[in-house]
Amino acid sequence: MKRVVVRFEENEGEADIQVLFQASNADAQVKELMDRVRGPFVGNLAVVDPAGSTVLLPLERIASISSNNKRLKVMTDDETYWLKASLQEMDKTLFPNMFLRISRYEIVNLRKIRRFDFTISGTLRIEFDHGAETWASRRYIPTIRQRLKEGG
């Protein structure tokens, strides 16, 4: 476990609060610390519900986000929402310890996954807590295996 050093630098010309993490690499401890700092400020995602209203959806409710006709389909355990954004943009803004890109078209919430089923043929079936399932792209399987080994 790395030692954490906290330091404050006053900058009268700065309107925002900037938090900088410096370490030899972005390991699991660093990513978790970043998520904890970022968490209270970006814990929701503005999405469009089935009635067409914009609502704030807590990130922990999201099971998966997938690309669908230039819009993103946001799935929870029991509801489908829509979002106008790119999957690449979501991949950059979602918590790396909570979400994982499994294909060119889909990101999943690791906390909503019941089981990863690596098949003999080399494919990966992902089963969610609420019973739904999806498949990972073969191209992403090495990255997924690495993240699971790291405990992400």
Q: pLDDT tens for the chain, 152 residues: list them.
A: 788 888 888 888 887 778 888 899 888 888 888 777 765 555 788 999 999 999 999 998 999 999 988 899 999 999 999 998 899 989 888 877 789 999 999 999 999 999 999 888 878 999 999 999 999 999 999 999 888 887 75
20 occurs within a structural domain:
no
63 occurs within a structural domain:
yes
Where on the phi/psi map is residue 70: left (φ > 0), alpha (ψ -120 to 50), or beta? left
Number of domains, the chain: 1
Location of structure tokens 């819009």: 71
Contacts of 81 (CB under 8 A, 6+ apart): 47, 48, 49, 50, 55, 57, 73, 74, 75
The whole model's pTM is what? 0.70
133 occurs within a structural domain:
yes
- Domain range for 105 is 28-149
107 occurs within a structural domain:
yes
85 occurs within a structural domain:
yes
1 occurs within a structural domain:
no
Nearest Cα to 43, choosing from 9, 77, 94, 113? 94
61 occurs within a structural domain:
yes
- Compute the distance between CA of residue 6 and CA of residue 61 in angstroms, rounded to an integer: 32
